[in-house]
A and B are shown apart, each in its own frame.
Chain A
Amino acid sequence: MTAYLIKRILWMIPMLIGISLISFFIMHLAPGDVTSNEASFNPRASEESRQKLRELYNLDKPVIIQYGLWLKRISQLDFGNSFASHQKPVLWEKKDKSGNITKGLIQESLPITLMINLLGIFIIFSISICLGTLSAVRQNTWIDRAITLFVFIGFAIPGFWLALLLMYWTGVSNHWLPISGLHSPGFQSFSNFGQFIDLLKHLVLPVSISSLSGLAGISLYVRNGMLDILHQDFITTARSKGLQENKIVFVHALKNAILPLITIIGLSIPGLIGGSVITESIFAIPGMGKLFYDSVLMRDFPVIMGILTIGSILTLIGNLLADIGYAWADPRVRKGLVK
């Protein structure tokens, strides 16, 4: 097992280099660089100055040399500084010579996105498992159909539209919840608990909107898995033994039905750091989605590469964790009985 793990981890290095090489070249295929953003279409900004900027950012060098420079930096775990947001560090905070700390772009956005996505995943999984189990147990009744209808509406409804309606209903006509942002304007003067409640209130809408579309997939997965299990012989045996139906469903069947979910959780780890541009823009949340989108529009290469690299590392780790988790949870896999 250990040898297997080490092999898997070592394999990740050439894979990462390959991914970064491809991303780097694709990124440079798009016309333009950071000096061609909209603000630079200003008659005051001369072409000579823009050429000078290109030289200062090494953008005048051939792409392969730029990649080499990037690789050299990244091997020292330095993700570089952003072009567009005035040399802010891409990944983590840096200290200047007088001891002032400038926070990293990903460092600032990642916790927000992680928080929303973790809450979202928690909500999606807990609701989906309930809904899926319920519709499997009540298969082909009106409850089953109502649940399926509900999750599909949730899946199909345009998130931004529902978001605006809910913002209007809960924020404008009924002042129940704040409309956008993560904090109220004067939140610094609140107590710690007050700030926490303030944050939770701001998260209700974005988290619900981003969870809604995830319900359909997972709950149908649980429903089908559950139906499969409920028709297996050991369930019939349990029933004939006279076990309580509750115990059969929640202890014996459910455990087996949610096994495949481990793979899904593992696969959703890279998704944890990606935010939705639309949700984040509408709710004015400075998360990873907006950061990535803006950096693509600005051709802010260090930030694009930083996010892609971290994303690919997490994808590889996620895959590994899913495999390990599966082996841990399922004795058949652990003992090599099932591949």
Chain B
Amino acid sequence: MKKKFLLFTIFICSILTINCSKESSEVIDYNRKFNSNSGGTLINAMSGEPSNLIAMIAGDSASSVIAGNIFNSLIKYDENLDYAPELAESWEISNNQKTITFKLKKGLKWQDGQPLTSSDVLFTWKLITDPKTRTPYAADYQLVKKALTPDPLTFKITYADSYAPALDTWASLHILPKHILKNEDINNTFFSRNPIGSSYYKLNNWISGQQVTLIANDKSTSGPPLIKKLISRIIPDTSSQFLELTADNIDLMNINPIQYQRVFPARKDLQKKISLYKELGNGYTYLGFNLRKAPFNNIKVRKALNYAIDKEEVIKGVLLGLGESISSPYKPGTRWNNPDLKPYPYNPSKALKLLSDAGYTKNNKGILLKDGKPLKFEIITNQNKQREMTAVLIQRRLQEIGIEVSIRVIEWASFVNRFIKTGDFDVVVLGWSLSLDPDQYNIWHSSQQGPGQFNFLGYSNKNVDKLLEVGRKELNILKREKIYHEFSKYLLEDSPIVYLYAGYGLSAVHKRIKGIKQPTPPAGIYHNSYDWFMPKPLRRNEILE
């Protein structure tokens, strides 16, 4: 008995000492000033595995993130979201706005040392417009009527009609190497998992389902990156990602509002080694009405519902305050956003007034009726926690003024095919991206209402149609700005959707990474990730370089 007790005591003591010794060895001051130097390995976490690294046939975000480190486009967006040179050093738009001439930089090389010329650009354009290529993105590039390469540094394209989003489409098309792909079937090629690119990094190895390792490309067209190795670990579960972050095993991840607002403020130990960043994300969430159906074809009802929903409450409840309410489909603070527009305030009495104008009266149970029928409808949304919570908050507010709302949550593919494509729904909670180019023709033009097209709400307004048509032909930025300010005004007034919120993108980054721009520029913290560095004393020593 005594012996047992002794053993037990030793066991307990050893556990305690292990814990103590560990803590005392971990005193690194991450807040010291460090000089920038190159080297080091950055490890991040992704929830999904890239399907392949050819962005034009991939379509998932994991693929475009990794491929974006390997391939270049002709032009890019700079930190203020203006166009900036990438492979092209300059570009010129002809007077009739139909021809764009790109001048490539001199001496560009692929990572295998072959020269990168305008024939690669032409090849890429031919590839994406080839009917055999399995890409969903061909439409924008099929508008190009003629593409020419007068010399190895010049790429000239002519559109049948002037097309304002043209530059945006060229900023998102990765240029692929002709010398490797010319005899390959793009739909089924070894290249998609063993790419030859031109940008900062090249693929080092890819362990399926586990990690993708990139190393610096010494022939990079944009100069060498400071961090020499990027490891992206595939960890589907965000709680596991978070544990890895707190254990110093990964350097950055996207976090959720609860982690940002509740976990970090309570954990002094994490604050010492991890910095948090927030920036306006790239999407917004809305409540959309099926405008083909009564009562949503009545503008008074739509406006009433808009007034009856408390957007501030939704932002507080769903995003813990980490979002902004918006009044146009553009990022607040950018030129396309009309600063004169204000969201519909929360005003239930005004809502009731509008509903009584529309012919609704309350019965003795407080339920709104018109012609003896109660005002009730169903909100559908896909399996997305934030959207579900949003729908619940809206349900409560509408119940208060006498509207009966039910909620149905559906798996994505069924949601799209069973409900959205058939138009068999009342109200949806969904999201759209806050696109960098203001063109929203596909979403709001009345001609885009066919099955599978994106104006599934059935919005149609002649003035808006005209503005959208003019807007996608106008290349003068100031004129365009006016057009889309006008468009946003009509859209807010017609209230086909209730803008709910634009959430912040939240990132947690380990403090061993330096060089992150503060305050966050409009393009977000990642736009200069090639200038980030990792000071020598802060690097992990377990990864050999």
Contact = CB atoms under 8 A, between A and B. Distances in A.
A binds B: yes
Interface of A: 30-33, 35-53, 56, 81, 84-87, 96, 98, 100, 102-103, 108-109, 164, 167-168, 171-175, 178-186, 188-189, 280-286, 290, 297, 299
A265 B234 CA distance: 33
Given A181-B235, A286-B210, A98 B190 contact: yes
A50 B137 CA distance: 9
B417 A282 contact: no
Nearest to B60: A39
Contact of B131 (A35, A52, A108, A171): A52
Given A43-B435, A180-B235, A185-B211, A283 B413 contact: no
B416 interface: yes
B33 interface: no
A302 to B, nearest CB: 13
B51 A84 contact: yes
A167 to B, nearest CB: 5
A96 B189 contact: yes
A161 to B, nearest CB: 10
A179 B243 CA distance: 7
A175 B440 CA distance: 51
A103 B208 contact: yes
A46 B64 CA distance: 19
B247 A56 contact: no
Interface stretch (B309-317, B446-454, B529-537): B446-454
Contacts of B58: 86
Interface of B: 18-19, 22, 41, 43, 49, 51-52, 54, 57-61, 131-132, 134-140, 187-190, 192-194, 205, 207-211, 231, 233-237, 239-240, 243-244, 246-247, 249, 411-414, 416-418, 432-433, 435, 440, 442-443, 450-454, 542-544
Nearest to A49: B136
B446 to A, nearest CB: 15
Contacts of B59: 37, 39-40, 42, 45
Contact of A87 (B19, B187, B411, B454): B187
B136 A40 contact: yes
A86 B192 contact: yes
A47 B132 CA distance: 16
A46 B443 CA distance: 11
Contacts of A290: 209, 236
A39 B56 CA distance: 12
6 contacts: A37-B60, A37-B413, A96-B190, A180-B237, A185-B231, A282-B237
A43 B249 CA distance: 37
Contacts of B132: 56
Contacts of A282: 237, 239-240
A52 B125 CA distance: 18
Contacts of B454: 43
A31 B452 CA distance: 14
Nearest to B543: A186
B61 A39 contact: yes
A186 B215 CA distance: 13
B136 A31 contact: no
A284 B413 contact: no
Contacts of A42: 59, 136, 433
B194 A185 contact: no
A51 B51 CA distance: 21
A49 B140 CA distance: 11
Given A30-B413, A44-B442, A180-B244, 11 more contacts: A31-B417, A35-B136, A40-B136, A42-B136, A56-B132, A180-B237, A181-B235, A184-B542, A281-B236, A282-B240, A284-B240
B134 A179 contact: no
Given A167-B240, A185-B233, A44 B139 contact: yes
Nearest to A164: B239
A189 B208 CA distance: 18
A173 B243 CA distance: 10
A174 B247 CA distance: 9
A284 B208 contact: no
B240 A102 contact: no
Residue of A43, A102, A172, A286 with most chain B CB atoms under a 10 A cut-off? A43
Nearest to A172: B247
A191 to B, nearest CB: 13
B13 to A, nearest CB: 15
Contact of B137 (A44, A164, A186): A44
Lowest 10 CB-CB distances: which A-B pairs, in order?
A286-B209, A32-B413, A45-B136, A86-B52, A31-B417, A100-B190, A47-B452, A186-B543, A46-B139, A43-B442
Nearest to A283: B240
B240 A179 contact: yes
A46 B450 CA distance: 11
Contacts of A50: 136, 452
Nearest to B249: A179
Contacts of B243: 164, 167-168, 171-172, 179-180
A81 B51 CA distance: 13
A182 B412 CA distance: 30
A37 B412 contact: yes
B207 A183 contact: yes
Contacts of B234: 284, 286
B319 to A, nearest CB: 20
A49 to B, nearest CB: 4
Contact of B414 (A31, A41, A181): A31
A36 to B, nearest CB: 5
A90 to B, nearest CB: 13
Nearest to B413: A32
Given A44-B137, A284-B233, A189 B544 contact: yes
A31 B418 contact: yes
B210 A53 contact: no
Contacts of B41: 185
B210 A183 contact: yes
A182 B210 contact: yes
A171 B414 contact: no
B139 A48 contact: yes
A299 B413 contact: yes
Nearest to A52: B131
Nearest to B192: A86
Nearest to B207: A183
Contacts of B43: 185
A45 B18 CA distance: 56
Contact of B140 (A44, A85, A189): A44
Contacts of A37: 59-60, 412-413
A299 B417 CA distance: 12
A181 B241 CA distance: 11
A72 to B, nearest CB: 19
A85 B52 contact: yes
Nearest to A290: B236
Contacts of A43: 432, 435, 440, 442-443, 454
A81 B132 CA distance: 17
A50 B41 CA distance: 39
Nearest to B435: A43
Contacts of B134: 53, 56
B210 A284 contact: yes
B138 A49 contact: yes
Contacts of A182: 210
Contacts of A178: 249
